[in-house]
């Protein structure tokens, strides 16, 4: 949980200080006044980078040398202080005022789950978006997964170089290709096992979450579509000639996908805008629940512009079913239909031109 948040030179914020509500924060402000940026800052504090594939430098306010995010948090029921400085020369993180040697020792001290409008591409976009989501979230649950993944990527890169070289140079060492294939197969198996286990859990969880928000939609079904699911070594060897012709490894975890379905029907051509938004929202809330169940910690949930395209019933259901132990931030341009309903305990955080206009606590 975030108890205090302080931003310095972070995008359009020059100096900003907020004591958020422990439960629900409704962040209200007009377009371009800094709502998304505020959520991005909390995400960056936790993950040391933007939720968008944006370069670190873009987080620094135009004309400034560095950006800084400091927060007082609660981690495993103990107060903590986290700080991240992003300079043009690199970034530095501190936990309880001690600089961390490796960022991987720091990530995980604050769990966050973010819904951003770009995340609709998880359903609408291509498989690389879905793989990125998988890798990020599994990494949050099982940090060793990320090092396994980077080892896999390293081997893949070398193997692809050898395959390309093999196209032009007939003398190329076939033994080397054999060794790399064997290593890649071993590393791929670990990744595919972790992904498969995660998707089984997530599929179960999303079917618990979804009916709370959209009971009238068909049940969401999530399945893993690996490009190779077993006998990696045999499969990679079988494809070797094909891979040499293509000059690249044509199957493996880097070509996997996830399928989203409404019962038996694929979501993509069939679901409405609001339904897709609901699915992605349910997916993110399911991740938050998994983090809670597996790590026994409540992640901070950041929901950017989640209400647009959701009808009043879905908006109401979302607010009603947020886990009461979870700290949530929801941005919107206005309170709109929320004014008419009884909200749980919350604060309204008003943002105006990159400054805090005021905070109203309700309970
Ligand atoms: N590095 C930066 N330095 C200064 N200003 C920046 C920087 N990066 C982004 N901005 C400005 O911040 C503003 C965007 O803020 P943000 O995306 O947080 O708005 P928002 O309140 O979420 O708006 P919307 O309702 O349209 O989503 C833009 O006007 C952009 O030009
Ligand atoms: Mg925004």
How far away, in angstroms, is 42 Cα from ligand 2 center? 14
Does the beta carbon of 54 sit less than 6 angstroms from any atom of ligand 1?
no
pLDDT value for 102: 87
Nearest residue (CA) to ligand 1, atom 29: 32
How far away, in angstroms, is 108 Cα from ligand 1 center? 27
In ligand 1, which atom is closest to the CA atom of 59? 1
Q: What would the two tokens of residue 119 be?
A: 């995340």
Does the beta carbon of 29 sit less than 6 angstroms from any atom of ligand 1?
yes
pLDDT value for 170: 63
pLDDT value for 270: 85
pLDDT value for 171: 62
Does the beta carbon of 159 sit less than 6 angstroms from any atom of ligand 1?
no
Sign of the torsion formed by the C-alpha atoms of 53, 55, 59 and 63: negative
pLDDT value for 172: 64
How far away, in angstroms, is 184 Cα from ligand 2 center? 41
Test site for ligand 1: of 36, 58, 305, 336, most ligand atoms within 8 A of the Cβ: 36
Residue with tokens 């068909």: 218
How far away, in angstroms, is 297 Cα from ligand 1 center? 31
Q: What would the two tokens of residue 286 be?
A: 């399911």
Nearest residue (CA) to ligand 1, atom 11: 12
What CA–CA distance (Å, rounded) separates 50 from 63?
19
Q: Which residue ranges form the domains of the chain, and what is each CATH number? A: 1-111+297-363 (3.40.50.300), 120-295 (1.20.1050.90)
What residue ranges of the chain have pLDDT lower than 70? 169-172
Sheet with 328-332, edge to edge strand ranges: 112-115, 300-303, 328-332, 24-28, 346-352, 355-362
Nearest residue (CA) to ligand 1, atom 7: 11
Q: Per residue in 262-318, pLDDT tens? A: 988 888 878 999 999 999 999 999 999 999 999 999 999 999 999 998 999 999 999
Does the beta carbon of 31 sit less than 6 angstroms from any atom of ligand 1?
yes
Does the beta carbon of 277 sit less than 6 angstroms from any atom of ligand 1?
no
Provide the pairing of β-strand 300-303 with 328-332.
Answer: parallel
Query: Helix, strand or coil for residue 59?
Result: helix
Does the beta carbon of 64 sit less than 6 angstroms from any atom of ligand 1?
no
Q: Beta-carbon neighbour count of residue 69 at 10 Å?
A: 26
Task: Output the CA angle 280-281-287, nearest 5 degrees.
Answer: 90
Does the beta carbon of 284 sit less than 6 angstroms from any atom of ligand 1?
no
Q: What would the two tokens of residue 23 be?
A: 């439960």
pLDDT value for 266: 86
pLDDT value for 338: 82
């Amino acid at each position: 949980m975030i108890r205090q948040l302080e931003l310095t030179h972070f995008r359009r914020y020059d100096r900003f200080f907020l004591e958020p509500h422990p439960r629900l924060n409704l962040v209200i402000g007009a377009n371009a006044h800094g709502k998304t940026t505020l959520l991005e800052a909390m995400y960056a504090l936790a993950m040391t980078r933007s939720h968008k594939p944006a370069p670190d430098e873009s987080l620094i306010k135009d004309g400034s040398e560095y950006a800084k995010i400091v927060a007082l948090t609660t981690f495993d029921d103990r107060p903590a202080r986290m700080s991240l400085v992003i300079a043009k020369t690199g970034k530095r993180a501190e936990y309880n005022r001690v600089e961390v040697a490796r960022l991987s020792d720091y990530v995980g001290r604050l769990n966050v789950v973010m819904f951003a409008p770009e995340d609709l591409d998880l359903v609408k976009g291509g498989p690389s978006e879905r793989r990125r989501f998988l890798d990020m979230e599994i990494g949050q649950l099982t940090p060793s997964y990320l090092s396994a993944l980077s080892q896999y990527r390293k081997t893949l890169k070398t193997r692809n170089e050898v395959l390309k070289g093999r196209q032009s140079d007939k003398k190329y060492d076939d033994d080397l290709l054999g060794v790399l294939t064997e290593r890649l197969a071993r590393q791929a198996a670990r990744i595919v096992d972790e992904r498969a286990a995660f998707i089984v859990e997530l599929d179960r969880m999303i079917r618990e979450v979804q009916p709370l928000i959209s009971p009238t939609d068909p049940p969401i079904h999530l399945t893993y579509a690996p490009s190779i699911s077993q006998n990696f070594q045999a499969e990679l060897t079988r494809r070797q000639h094909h891979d040499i012709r293509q000059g690249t490894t044509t199957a493996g975890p880097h070509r996997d996908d996830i399928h989203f379905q409404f019962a038996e029907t694929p979501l993509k051509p069939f679901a409405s805008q609001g339904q897709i938004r609901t699915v992605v929202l349910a997916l993110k809330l399911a991740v938050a629940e998994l983090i809670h169940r597996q790590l026994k910690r409540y992640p901070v949930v950041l929901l950017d512009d989640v209400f647009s395209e959701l009808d009043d019933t879905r908006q109401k259901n979302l607010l009603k079913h947020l886990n009461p132990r979870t700290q949530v931030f929801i941005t919107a341009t206005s309170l709109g239909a929320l004014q008419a309903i009884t909200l749980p305990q919350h604060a309204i955080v008003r943002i105006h031109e990159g400054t805090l206009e005021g905070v109203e606590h309700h309970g």
